[in-house]
Each structure stands twice: as structure tokens, then as C-alpha cells.
Amino acid sequence: MEENSVLRFDPSVFVVGRDYQIIFLTTTMGIGWIEIDGERFTDEECGLLMYDTVHKIPVPGDKLNAAGHYTVVFVEYLDKKPYYPEGVEKVRKTYNFYPLTGDDFRLFQFADTHAQTALPIETFNMVGGTCDILLLNGDINEWSDKIEHFYTSYELAANAVHGERPVIGSRGNHDTRGHKAQLLPNYIPTAFRDGRRETFYSFRQGALWGLILDCGEDKYDHNIEYGGTIFFDAFRKRETEYLESLIANKENEYAADGVKYKIAFCHVPITEKFGHPFDVASDIYEYWTKLLNEMGIDLLVCGHMHRAYCIPPHTAGKCDADFPTMVMSIPNVKREDGSKYYVGGIVDAKDGKLIAAPAPYGEPFTF
């Protein structure tokens, strides 16, 4: 069918707050939107519908959760001339959608796939090929140098959850590099605050309250590697203020009715201690750890280290966390026969406990 070739991948339904941002990519230029039971949700800003090959549509959580399905619509405009442009509907495709309900769920993490899709999907399939919520936890791409580099996240999400399950999007440090990095906010979920799109925010899905943290780059802004193209000092300062605001508003956040699990997600394990030049924001991460302690975070889920290990609470030489940190991602692990595999991570919520384990192999930790 033509719609399958125009729609590059199944959409990704990202969680942001209590709502969603459905993002889909098309092979041709045009206007996209979402319909739920006949109601239309668009990416209109200032009255204008966005004209692009990426379509990022905010959708109210209560509407999509109640409906359990949504329809992706795309109208192609090969020439969006100033007068009488003509659009042709090329995609109208309905997806079932299953938000987290009840107390138990399985989360699967991809992080540090570094532009690979085949081995990560192989791992996902080795551990059952299903999850209730998918986590893309940064460095999914090698960098953001070409628009094509943004496809990796969508290919992974489409192969894993087919547009039918919620996806958590968390940025990695490699994502901030390259010619197209400044376009990233069009391609990833963001919260809108004080006139800016931000990549740190909370979300709520069933019994899960989630907190997405973003460290930005792992070295100082003035590092020659970045050549003056980033300003994460200002970004982290706003993030600190945001974390403080969550505590001030806890009744509507992690202390709200029905929250049973509080999990933080961050590409970089902020509870680790890094030596120079990776010691950027060490004091800030120490403070964020304190704030997360105050929130009563149950677990921090990370990547970045290309290792799989657990930092138990109050480990000497680390930030003094009341919560464990699970680091779960390794690209290109070699087997004895020379073949390679990818290590991701699983978090199961079951009977009030969280059980985290590297996937496909690895020791489970229960918290």
C-alpha cells in the first residue's frame, strides 16, 4: 500500500506529563495530524499547520487513553505555493493504543544503540518481543549530523511497539552534536515552559510517575570538542529550578493519588562520580541526587557507560542516593563464536516491587 511507503515508520507515542506527543515521519513534504473518534489534533502554531516530513502532534492523554486508538492522517503537498496549493491525502491509518493500566508493567530500555537497529531489535525479540512501555534513553544515534540520523529512534520504536504502546524519550549527549542537532526539538518529545521547549519533564502512566532528566553534554561547554556550539550551563540551571518546582507541586506530581512507582530516567548516571574532563556539573548532580531523595525516587535507569551494573543506595564514592541506579546498555558485545549482540535493559513492576535486569542476559536486581 502506498501509505506504508509514505509513512516512514509506525508513529511513536511519547509520554509528556499526562498527555502524549505523537511523532511520525513521512517520505514526502506535507501536513500531518491525528484523529481520535473524529476529533482532529494538529501541530498548528499561530494558526499555521506545519509543512514538513516530521509531524509532532500534541494529543490529550485522557482522550487517547479513553479511546484506545488513534488515526494518523497525512496530506501531501508536493508544491506548497503561496496561492492555491493542492494537497492529496496519502495516509489514513488507525492504530490501537494501550496505555499503562493497573499496577504491573514491563519497561524495556534501548540506550547507546549508536545508530544500530538490527542487534538491539534482536535482543528485544530474544526477551519476548514485547513490553508495556518503551524507553529510548539517549545516544540512540551516533550524532545528529543528517536528518536520516533521527530515523533510528523511530525505527527502533516501530519495530518494538508498532505505535501501540507509550514511549519515553530521553536525550543522550551524542544527540547534541552535528549539523542538524538544533532541529532535534522537532524530532523528540519536549515540554513547553517559559517560552522554550525543554527535554526534562515528568510524566504519568497508570501507577508509574516518571521523571526524565537530561544532563546535556558530558564535558564542559568550553571544551574544544564543541567549539562554542552549546550552552548546557544555562540549561542545567533551569533543570535544577524545574526539579525544585516538582517538589513544591508534589501533590500533582509524585505524591498524586495512585502513584505506586517513581522512576527517574537519565542517559548519564548522575549518581556516578566522573573525573576531569567529565566532571562537568558534579556539584549539580550531587544536588539533583538530594532532590531525587526528597521525591522518594525508587529507581534511576541510565545508559551512557556502555556497561551493565547496579549502584546500590549509599554506595561509597558515589552521590549519596537513597535509591539504586541501574545502568543497562552495551553495544556490540562479542560472543565466543565471534557474533555480536546488544545489551539493553528490562524493568518489571510486579506486586509493588521493581525488578531490573540487563537484557538479554544478566543478573536481576529487586528493589
Applying CB under 5 A, the residues found at the interface with Fe ion are 139, 172-173, 304
- Residue 161 carries which side chain, given as an amino acid letter? V
CB of 303 to Fe ion, least distance (A): 7
* N-to-C CA span, the chain: 47
Q: Which cell goes with 274?
A: 566522573
CB of 139 to Fe ion, least distance (A): 4
- Please identify the residue of the shown chain whose CB is closest to the bound Fe ion: 304
CB of 272 to Fe ion, least distance (A): 12
Nearer to Fe ion, 172 or 269 (CB): 172
| Cα(16)–Cα(330) distance, integer angstroms | 27
Nearer to Fe ion, 55 or 304 (CB): 304
Question: What is the β-pairing status of strands 299-302 and 325-328?
Answer: parallel
Find where cell 528485544 sits: 124
Find where cell 544555562 sits: 234
Q: Which cell goes with 13?
A: 507515542
CB of 15 to Fe ion, least distance (A): 22
CB of 267 to Fe ion, least distance (A): 6
Nearer to Fe ion, 309 or 367 (CB): 309
Nearer to Fe ion, 172 or 210 (CB): 172
Tell me, what DSSP letter sits at residue 118? H
Instruction: Compute CA distances 192 → 42, 63, 185, 283, whole Å.
Output: 16, 20, 11, 27
Tell me, what DSSP letter sits at residue 18? T
Using alpha carbons, select from 121, 108, 116 the residue that is nearest to residue 151: 116
CB of 91 to Fe ion, least distance (A): 34
* SS3 label, residue 296: coil
CB of 142 to Fe ion, least distance (A): 11
Nearer to Fe ion, 113 or 173 (CB): 173
b/e map of 321-352 (b: 16 or more CB within 10 Å)? bebbbbbbbbbebeeeeeeebbbbbbbbbeee
| Alpha-helical runs (H) found in the chain | 2-6, 61-67, 118-126, 151-161, 184-187, 232-248, 282-295
CB of 268 to Fe ion, least distance (A): 7
Nearer to Fe ion, 22 or 268 (CB): 268
Nearer to Fe ion, 12 or 176 (CB): 176
Nearer to Fe ion, 90 or 304 (CB): 304
